Amino acid sequence: MSEKDNSSVRVFLFGKRYDVPAGLTIMAAMEYSGYRLVRGCGCRNGFCGACATIYRVHGDRELRACLACQKTVEDGMYVATLPFFPLVKEIYDMEQVRPADQVMMSLYPEIYKCVGCNACTKACSQELRVMQYIAYAQRGEYERCAEESFDCVMCGICSARCPAGISHPQVAMLARRLTGKYIRPRSQHLKDRVDALLRGAFDAEMDAMMNLPLEEIKTLYNGREIEK
């Protein structure tokens, strides 16, 4: 194989070498190299947070983790994606659990084994203060935990780095569910809109939208008004 030029980088995907354009994300580099990402990843008709990837750069012994849709390829990068990071997902009934202190002790007692190493925060691809929202969960401050963890995409990288075996994303999900169901006031305008949907108030508009040509739908979507 010829030497790479200055506009490309050498990467190793699943042990095989490829020269790819500099500036690509790992995900784009995989597609450039011929891999078809047809399921799993959120931006490829799957779930956001599903592209958790481990990599190492030549000359650096540390094994790092990232989301393939965010990390830009580096020269000499060795890449392997994982199907998922294993998380403990407890089963519970939201009609039965309540936002009391003992709910976390009952479902996720491992959060009280946190050693304060902050490895979870350092590993987070979203730059969330993961250890901080676990501390809120420990103290029963579920609304603050929900706010702090709101942008979590549940990739599980934080849990892979945790020596205490905490399933941070699942703890955060429980806190957000408790907050939405029991702590925050009910949103009347949301209830009104759901009732309108159930009555079929927007069926005609939806039918008209579904019958539009794809390019026209794309134009409407790209030109939509976005609230700030």
pLDDT of residue 106: 94
Which is more confident, 224 or 117?
117
| Average pLDDT of the residues in 58-73 | 88
Q: Please, what's the largest Cα pairwise distance for the chain?
A: 65
| Tens digits of residue pLDDT in 114-173 | 999 999 999 998 899 999 999 999 999 999 999 999 999 888 999 988 999 999 999 999
Instruction: Tell me the domains of the chain and their CATH numbers.
Output: 8-81 (3.10.20.30), 102-183 (no CATH), 196-222 (no CATH)
Which is more confident, 120 or 5?
120
| 204 pLDDT above the threshold of 90 | yes
Q: In the beta sheet, which residues pair with residue 149?
A: none
Residue 100 pLDDT grade (very low, low, confident, very high; cuts 50, 70, 90): confident
* SS3 category, 138: helix
| 3 pLDDT above the threshold of 60 | no
Sheet containing strand 16-21, edge to edge, reads 16-21, 8-13, 77-81, 52-57, 64-67
| 183 pLDDT above the threshold of 60 | yes
DSSP state of 180: I
pLDDT of residue 208: 93
pLDDT of residue 5: 57
Query: How buried is residue 223: exposed, middle or buried, by Cβ count under 10 Å (0-12/13-18/19+)?
Result: exposed
Residue 193 pLDDT grade (very low, low, confident, very high; cuts 50, 70, 90): very high
pLDDT of residue 2: 46
| 41 pLDDT above the threshold of 80 | no
